[in-house]
Structure 1
Amino acid sequence: MSVFIIAEAGVNHNGSLEIAKQLVDAAKEAGVDCVKFQTYISKNIVSKNAVKAEYQKQQSEVEESQHDMLKKLELSFDEFIELKDYCELKGITFLSTAFDFDSINFLKSLNMETWKIPSGDITNLPYLIKIAKLNKPIILSTGMSTMNDIENAIRALKENGTGELTVLHCTSEYPTPYKDVNLLAMLTIQNQFNVQIGYSDHTQGIEVPIAAVALGATVIEKHFTLDRNMEGPDHKASLEPDELKKMVESIRHIESAKGDGKKAPAQSEKKNMAVARKSIVANKDIKAGEVFTEENLTVKRPGDGINPMRWFDIIGKKAIRDFEEDELISE
């Protein structure tokens, strides 16, 4: 099964349907499997006086509440219908995270096949139950979570109808310092809960998601933008289109390189075995009937003669014919 790569456009469209479509084009060009947005009604998800996160404050000089920031980034349901149609036209899977019940109902009406639960709602029991009852494949992000949080969320989902579930390790800092990635926690989640695992990345660069694939991630999610210099909360922790394309190419290379885990000579290297390995050869001229010894035998390339692992089988035997120096020994 190929790694499912999600290009997280999120709110990097800055509230513009036209920019959202450009993000779809960039995701398609990069070769990802899916482009994901965020669907919400601002007044349903944040109170008017909620302050912005520190990283959100750093990305804008405007003094505003979290509600006002999100309101500027909000796309209407009609715009999402047009956006989904555009994704279908371009041949890329549309996905959007629903942040409130109205948005869940709306995205359900679009027959969205896979559902993504954001880290901020992993402790939102009514939300988890509503998503679970859709009986659709779910991808669960676990930023800011303890193992107990994850266990409770999985239980709520499973008890209410969820079948196919993938759990993403994640660190909810934008950008995430490398020292806080803790990538091995992804394997801890897999081992404890026996689930498909993946990784949602907020680091700057592409190294960590590539490493996650090498460790067994089946889903990779990565923020991207048309331009990191655009104003908005998530641009600075996002890849630009050429970087996204490089990440996809690298992930596909790692997928291919992982192989099936069985250690045996690869087809491409078999032709080099005779060249690189060695055989038992005459260390000097040897006459027929002469006893093979550690003095008149040695080991040299090529490797298409007697395997040197049989060294002690050959020592003490008699030469069946004359051998010249450097000639392969035969029995």
Structure 2
Amino acid sequence: MAVRKITIGDHTVSDDTDAYVIAEIGHNHEGDLNKAKELVMRAAEAGASAAKLQKRDNKSLFTASMYNEPYTGRNSYGPTYGEHREALEFGRYEYTELAKVADAAGIDFISTAFDFASVDFLDDLDVPAIKMASADLTNTPLLTYAAKTDRPLIISTGGAHMDDVRRAVDTILPINSELAVLQCTAVYPAGPSDLHLSVIETFRREFPEVVVGFSGHDNGPELSMVAYTLGARVVEKHFTLDRGRPGSDHHFSLEPAELGRLVTGLREARKALGRPEKRQMPSEAGALRKMGKKLVAARDLPAGHVLSERDIAIKSPGDGLRPYLIGDLVGRALTEPLGADADFTFDVVA
């Protein structure tokens, strides 16, 4: 039987573990290294497993026309799209500094690679995992290149058909078995009806050897807990210090207190799932005694009396014979007298 497991840094993620929670900083640092450091530290304080950035080699990633096209408005950090992206892009110095901060805070530091040069950059930086964006799910050359780093890969599936997901998994798995596939919808923000969390179960059936997760662009932490109950063990949510800041991602990102609630809620979801077998719990004993029922004498009954249903009452507390045993008493004779409300036992009937 296939083992569904991925190891990222010191975290082993499988069906019987807590969720691996990724705080997706993206470009919510606004090009400010100090703000990025604070985001990493606040993500660690909230209990996230990893803080994540996005790495692009902008000159090779975009066509010249896209790089130079005008880009203005509230969310712009430059007059053209290329200058906007360059203003938000961190290089080796910033990544090295953030990796040190993450290590000191006890949190993994990972990133999305949007191109071949960025895969090389992250591989050389020795990140514990590489994320592949939804837009690259059909980019099998890039998926192959990233898989060959032998680093765990996490892939999102926004905007995809199932055949696209199959193709991506079939591309990666023969090269690299350390893979997580995340259900995702490329809507920002996504409403509940956009999420289609049932796809998590589809992925789990289709890919029994792959860890399944959820990359959520929805507002708030609550529906990620639903995703966990369906089998998502990697949960990614965008993260910001202030949802009101200018930028395309801030408005649907979690703030630190919400990220903390997400981590706590996911841990509680694991506890709440418990074990699949239905059994009586020792902690239920008090309630069962108080509210449960037992079989007692309906009135004073003499020795030798042959019992009928009219002789047997069903009353609380539930510390005696259960009512389903009434048929085992009817038609049997008492070996001793019983007073009203006295417990029936099999020792007093013949």
With structure 2 as the length reference, what TM-score do the two structures score? Answer: 0.88
1:241 alignment partner AA: P
Partner of residue 32, structure 1: 48
1:171 alignment partner AA: T
Partner of residue 133, structure 1: 148
1:63–1:16 distance in 2 versus 1, CA, 3 Å: closer
Report the Cα offset of residue 308 of structure 1.
1.5
Matched residues in 1 for 2:40 and 2:321: separation? 61
Q: Which runs of 4+ in 1 moved over 6 A?
A: none
TM-superposition CA deviations, 1:232-277 (whole Å, max 9, x none): 1100110111111111111110011111212111232234333332
Report the Cα offset of residue 62 of structure 1.
7.7
2:299 alignment partner AA: K
1:59–1:232: 8 Å Cα contact kept in structure 2? yes
Report the Cα offset of residue 51 of structure 1.
8.8
The unaligned stretches of length 5 or more in structure 2 are 1-16
Matched residues in 2 for 1:57 and 1:253: separation? 44
2:201 to 181, 187, 190: 187
1:8–1:106 distance in 2 versus 1, CA, 3 Å: same
1:7–1:34: 8 Å Cα contact kept in structure 2? yes
Does 2:317 match 1:265?
no
Partner of residue 38, structure 2: 22
Does 2:209 match 1:177?
no
Provide the aligned C-alpha RMSD in A: 2.0
Q: Percent identity?
A: 36
Matched residues in 2 for 1:74 and 1:269: separation? 56
1:178–1:62 distance in 2 versus 1, CA, 3 Å: same
1:48–1:65: 8 Å Cα contact kept in structure 2? no
1:21–1:83: 8 Å Cα contact kept in structure 2? yes
2:306–2:334: 8 Å Cα contact kept in structure 1? yes
Secondary structure, aligned partner of 2:338: coil
Does 2:251 match 1:231?
no
1:164 alignment partner AA: E
Partner of residue 255, structure 1: 270
Matched residues in 1 for 2:238 and 2:275: separation? 30
1:152 alignment partner AA: R
With structure 1 as the length reference, what TM-score do the two structures score? Answer: 0.93
Decide which moves more: 111-120 or 61-70: 61-70
The unaligned stretches of length 5 or more in structure 1 are none
Does 2:189 match 1:168?
no
Partner of residue 19, structure 2: 3
Decide which moves more: 39-48 or 299-308: 39-48
TM-superposition CA deviations, 1:8-48 (whole Å, max 9, x none): 11111001100000101110111111111112222222234
Matched length: 327
2:77–2:84: 8 Å Cα contact kept in structure 1? no
1:226–1:241: 8 Å Cα contact kept in structure 2? yes
Matched residues in 2 for 1:65 and 1:80: separation? 25
1:175 alignment partner AA: P
Secondary structure, aligned partner of 1:198: strand
Does 2:298 match 1:307?
no
Partner of residue 297, structure 1: 312
